[in-house]
Amino acid sequence: MTTVVSSEQVPQQDQPVADAVYRREIKSFVRREGRVTQGQARALETLWPVYGIEFDATRRLDFKQVFGNDNPVWLEIGFGMGKSLAEMALLMPKVNFLGIEVHRPGVGSLLNDIQEQGITNIRIMSHDAVEVLKLMLPELSLARVLLFFPDPWHKTKHHKRRIVQPDFLKLVASRLAGGCVFHAATDWQPYAEWMLEMFAQVPIFENTAGVGQYAVKPDYRPETKFERRGIKLGHGVWDLVFEKPDYECQ
């Protein structure tokens, strides 16, 4: 398999309002590399050329070429070690998954899982997700965007680093097809409340659970080992599922 991008240069007129609005100088992540195991390093060297997509600000991705089919594309931002993403891809072979993660051990781990489990419907990018959305993903090209357990940046002085901000939501909306969904989940209640407040400032989206409400966990979101441990300790998990209304989505 070969990962490709569109051979055409990005036309200047294909710069939606959201692109111009989202000038992002503050990053919502810090690269914490950690230790890359020998197996992960080997995967990064041998499997990245097959399943990885290099960031290129001058080109838009052509998903039909990337995946070799017209199946809907789900984007997961920050897949961690990739276990949940691999599980979803196995359960939904008719969905194409694009995962973005800057943590190299996590990328290597997912690449190993892809090979060991024979997964064919995942591609990976290792770059700032906002820049990928802004510069490489076509408008109206995504069927679902997933953001599971992002860094909550607990301290008030760091709230500006939280990825869920009104301009980010507008950017996501510009890449989602009508009728499609942005699904976020967090185990930090203040961040869940924050996200509700941010969504309230972006009327493009509608809360599928009702105004000010949290959604029941969709069956497709895997329950992680960390999450199960937290639930046993009495910790909560909050899912937010917001739809961009327009027309029926696959």
Residue 41 tokens, joined: 């390093």
| 19 flagged as catalytic | no
Is the dihedral angle over the CA atoms 78, 121, 248, 10 positive or is it negative? positive
Rounded-to-integer distance, Cα 43 and Cα 35, Å: 14
Q: 200-210 b/e with 16+ CB inside 10 Å = b?
A: eebebbebeee
Counting every residue written for the chain, the total comes to: 250
Residue 152 near residue 6, CB atoms below 8 Å = no
Strands 176-186 and 238-244: antiparallel
Rounded-to-integer distance, Cα 81 and Cα 59, Å: 28
Active-site pick, 62, 128, 151, 239: 151
Helix (H, G, I), strand (E, B) or coil at 178: strand
Rounded-to-integer distance, Cα 38 and Cα 17, Å: 44
Residue 96: CB atoms within 10 A of its CB come to 24
Residue 147 tokens, joined: 């953001």
Nearest Cα to Cα of residue 161 among 66, 27, 7, 14: 27
Active-site amino acid positions? 151
